[in-house]
Amino acid sequence: MDYIEVSKFRTNEIDEDLDVMLGTYWQSRKGKIGGPGSWQEVNKIFIINDAGIKIPLMSLLERSFGSSIPTIIHKNGVRCATVSAKVFQTTPTDIEEQLKPKLDEISKNWPANCNYELSGEVSSSADTYSSLNKIFFIAMVIVFSILALQFNSFLQPIIILFSVIFAITGVFAGFFWFDITMSFNAVIGIIALIGIVVNDAIIMIDTMNRYVKNGLNVKDAAAKGASDRLRPVFITTITTVLGLIPLAISDNAWMPLCLAIIFGQSFTTLISVFLIPSLFLLLTSEKNELKLTKDQLFF
């Protein structure tokens, strides 16, 4: 719906003033919702006081006409004009893909010294993407360090990192298969997905370590640990997917985030059933079985 800001409601608190918005069906709007388009329509607006009496709005206002002060906006010393809009049910990336080809075509007829640039959420998203590689690398180093201390091993954290790689692969494969644009919300979904995948892998590896601690060989511990944790991991995946599907369907803005988690977790769950036991068997030596104390294990 379109609303017009008609005034500000000033408060004595430190919060910002509240916007007074007006939106209804007026004849001048030709069937579209919005504010009044003429003084005749403004005269039809009434305010109801505490006693329930209707008071004409114009009896409370003083009408005057005047000219606004002309302003010339500059950015980096260059004259510019700003066009802004608020959109719903879509993402900045989708808007950029639809708008940029049209602007490129229109700008061919502009003078040589005229140009355009996209700002707002599109610009902030681009800045965020540029720093994601560093953030992701730092996050992986921190996760690896914590897991190395927890498992008392430099090899077993590699298993968990492989699970993360397969989860991200599942996200890109799903987005490519269904032709979904990678957006900022999708990146947020990938970050949340990494936490879920790491937790599932930790639980499975910890179970295998406990079986090794109790005297089983590495092969039997890998098989028994995977079978014991198969049902909880699958149930967690199913409940997560079923919980995210309604949100993905109801709002296009949240759809990339939800689908990133759905694709990634579904793919890595299917792969982890075979990947984690296999890597645990390869990276855990019979001659150098884990010497972990009870306090060092996850439960």
Residue 133: CB atoms within 10 A of its CB come to 9
Pick the residue with more confidence: 291 or 161?
Answer: 161
Tokens 């004595």 correspond to: 12
Alpha carbons 11 and 153: distance in angstroms, whole number: 60
Q: Are the C-beta atoms of residues 279 and 178 closer than 8 Å to each other? A: no
**Taking 80 as the threshold, does the pLDDT of residue 165 lie above it?**
yes
Amino acid at 190: I
Question: What would the pLDDT profile of 61-72 be if each residue is shown by its tens digit?
Answer: 787 777 767 777
List the one residue out of 225, 172, 235, 175 whose CA is nearest residue 201.
225
User: What is the C-alpha to C-alpha distance for residues 274 and 269, in angstroms, rounded to an integer?
Assistant: 9
pLDDT reported for residue 14: 60
Q: What count of Cα atoms within 13 Å lies in the side-chain half-sphere of residue 97?
A: 9
Which domains, and CATH codes, for the chain? 4-59 (no CATH), 126-296 (1.20.1640.10)
Q: Residues of the chain with pLDDT > 70: what percent?
A: 84
Q: What pLDDT, in 10s, does the model give residues 205-246?
A: 889 988 988 888 888 988 898 888 888 888 988 999 999 999
The pLDDT score that the predictor gives to residue 286 is: 58
pLDDT tens column, 238-248: 999 999 999 88
The tens digit of pLDDT for each residue in 126-146 reads 666 667 777 778 878 888 888
Low-confidence winner among 19-23, 73-77, 174-178, 294-298 (lowest mean pLDDT): 294-298
pLDDT digits (tens, 9 = 90+) for 73-127: 888 888 888 888 777 666 677 777 888 899 899 988 888 888 888 887 766 666 6
Q: Of 59-63, 69-73, 193-197, 251-255, which has the strongest mean pLDDT?
A: 193-197
For residue 287, pLDDT over 60 is answered with no
Mean pLDDT estimate for the chain: 80
Residue 293 above 60 pLDDT? Answer: no
